[in-house]
């Protein structure tokens, strides 16, 4: 009785092994008949059974089944196997790993894999060409699923996601490219744009501007972006350091010199501001912003002198007013040639005319102040009221 039981158990094992081996044949037969759901159910046990799990035929059959399911127009079937495309790709690659060079199933698997990849990519290109960016995005996601180590799907997927304003998806794909060491200045600029303008996340925008400097030191725009973000974040000290570094790399760039002058001006470091404004004008005599800003700096310094004396007691005021007027006049007069240079560039420059009128008024030169007032009026800068 005991021997009979052991024989029964042994036969059961044999029949199971035999059954799993036949599953591959049955699955292939169901595939041929177009019975894809049945084929999928039959093939799965064979992928884990000891005698069939390392056979190229098993995995190639599985690849073909899921490949067909991914192409099926039967929505219910595709819903039942939502990862069919990914499973097909994995199965083709498993076949390539198992089978030796020159083996039949290896050759068939390579063809199948290439066709799977090509279909997804071509559909993406076709939908992109037709302007259906949402469908193209899905296609390029498929490309990434088929070939997760290939950058193509992630790059075009990111671009399509950005087109259809799926910015989170775009960022995920761009980040994947960075992790794959497939970064480029365009990729980083796209991420910076999204974080700055869509997410309004300047910290992240700054992070990628700095990454751009690290990876592409020859692309000087990343350094300029860093400075811009630091200014917007009110991190003036860091911005000044950033601009100094930028100037070290571009010592002949008058715009950078003018910008650092503006930062010093904004932080009320007028001594350094004056030095850099003068340097910017020396480098580029037609730099309107530097001309205007330096003239305003001198006007501000003159006003500060007069405000100080005006706050004094009558006794102290009478004692210091003459010296204060003389010192303030010196500052006001420094502004005049700068503003005249602005008008040489454009005789109708509104800010140039307005500041010259103000300077002459402060110098108590009524005729000159009136002259510039009339010019402003003739140009429509002064309300008739």
Is the pLDDT assigned to residue 88 strictly greater than 70? yes
Whose structure tokens read 């912003």?
289
Predicted local confidence at residue 15, as pLDDT: 44
Predicted local confidence at residue 273, as pLDDT: 94
- Cβ 60 vs Cβ 109: under 8 Å: yes
Q: What is the mean pLDDT of residues 3-26?
A: 55
Predicted local confidence at residue 28, as pLDDT: 86
Q: Which two tokens stand for residue 179?
A: 């992790």
Is the pLDDT assigned to residue 59 strictly greater than 50? yes
* pLDDT winner (highest mean) among 26-35, 178-187, 376-385: 178-187
What is the pTM (predicted TM-score) of this model? 0.69
Predicted local confidence at residue 384, as pLDDT: 63
Predicted local confidence at residue 119, as pLDDT: 93
Cα-based distances in Å from 341 to 255, 278, 293, 302: 18, 13, 13, 20
pLDDT tens track for 210-256: 999 889 988 888 988 988 899 899 999 998 998 898 899 889 988 88
**Under 8 Å CB-to-CB from 54, ≥6 apart: which residues?**
98
Q: What is the mean pLDDT of residues 165-181?
A: 97
Q: What is the mean pLDDT of residues 327-342?
A: 96
Is the pLDDT assigned to residue 18 strictly greater than 60? no
Predicted local confidence at residue 21, as pLDDT: 58
Predicted local confidence at residue 10, as pLDDT: 43
Is the pLDDT assigned to residue 11 strictly greater than 80? no
Q: Which CATH class is domain 257-385?
A: mainly alpha
| Helix 167-179 with 133-146: angle, nearest 10 deg | 30
Q: What is the mean pLDDT of residues 274-299?
A: 94
**Under 8 Å CB-to-CB from 306, ≥6 apart: which residues?**
324, 325, 328
Q: What is the mean pLDDT of the chain?
A: 90
């Amino acid at each position: 009785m005991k021997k009979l039981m052991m024989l029964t158990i042994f036969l059961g094992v044999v029949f199971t092994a035999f059954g799993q081996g036949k599953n591959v044949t049955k699955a292939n037969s169901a595939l041929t008949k177009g019975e894809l759901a049945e084929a999928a159910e039959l093939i799965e046990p064979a992928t884990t059974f000891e005698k069939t799990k390392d056979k190229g035929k098993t995995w190639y059959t599985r690849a073909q089944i899921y490949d067909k399911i991914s192409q099926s127009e039967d929505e219910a079937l595709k819903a039942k196997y939502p990862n069919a495309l990914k499973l097909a790709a994995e199965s083709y690659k498993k076949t390539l790993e198992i089978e030796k060079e020159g083996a039949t199933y290896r050759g068939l698997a390579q063809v199948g894999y290439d066709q799977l990849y090509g279909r997804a990519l071509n559909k993406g290109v076709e939908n992109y060409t037709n302007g259906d960016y949402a469908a193209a995005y899905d296609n390029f996601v498929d490309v990434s699923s088929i070939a997760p180590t290939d950058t193509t799907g992630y790059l075009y997927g990111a671009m399509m996601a950005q087109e259809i304003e799926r910015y989170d998806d775009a960022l995920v794909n761009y980040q994947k490219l960075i992790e794959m060491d497939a970064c480029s200045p365009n990729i980083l600029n796209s991420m910076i744009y999204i974080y700055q303008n869509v997410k309004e996340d300047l910290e992240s925008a700054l992070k990628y501007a700095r990454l751009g400097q690290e990876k592409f030191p020859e692309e000087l725009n990343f350094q300029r972006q860093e400075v811009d973000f630091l200014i917007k974040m009110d991190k003036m000290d860091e911005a000044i350091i950033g601009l100094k570094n930028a100037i070290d790399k571009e010592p002949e760039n008058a715009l950078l010199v003018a910008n650092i002058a503006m930062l010093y001006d904004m932080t009320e470091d007028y001594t350094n501001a004056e030095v850099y404004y003068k340097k910017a004008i020396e480098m580029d005599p037609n730099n309107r912003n530097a001309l205007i800003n330096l003239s305003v700096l001198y006007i501000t310094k003159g006003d500060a002198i007069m405000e100080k004396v005006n706050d004094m007691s009558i006794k102290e005021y009478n004692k210091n007013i003459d010296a204060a007027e003389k010192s303030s006049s010196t500052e006001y007069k420094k502004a005049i040639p700068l503003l005249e240079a602005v008008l040489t560039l454009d005789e109708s420059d509104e800010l140039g005319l307005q500041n010259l009128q103000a300077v002459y008024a402060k110098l108590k030169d009524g005729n000159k102040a009136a002259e510039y007032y009339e010019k402003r009026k003739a140009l429509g800068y002064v309300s008739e009221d």
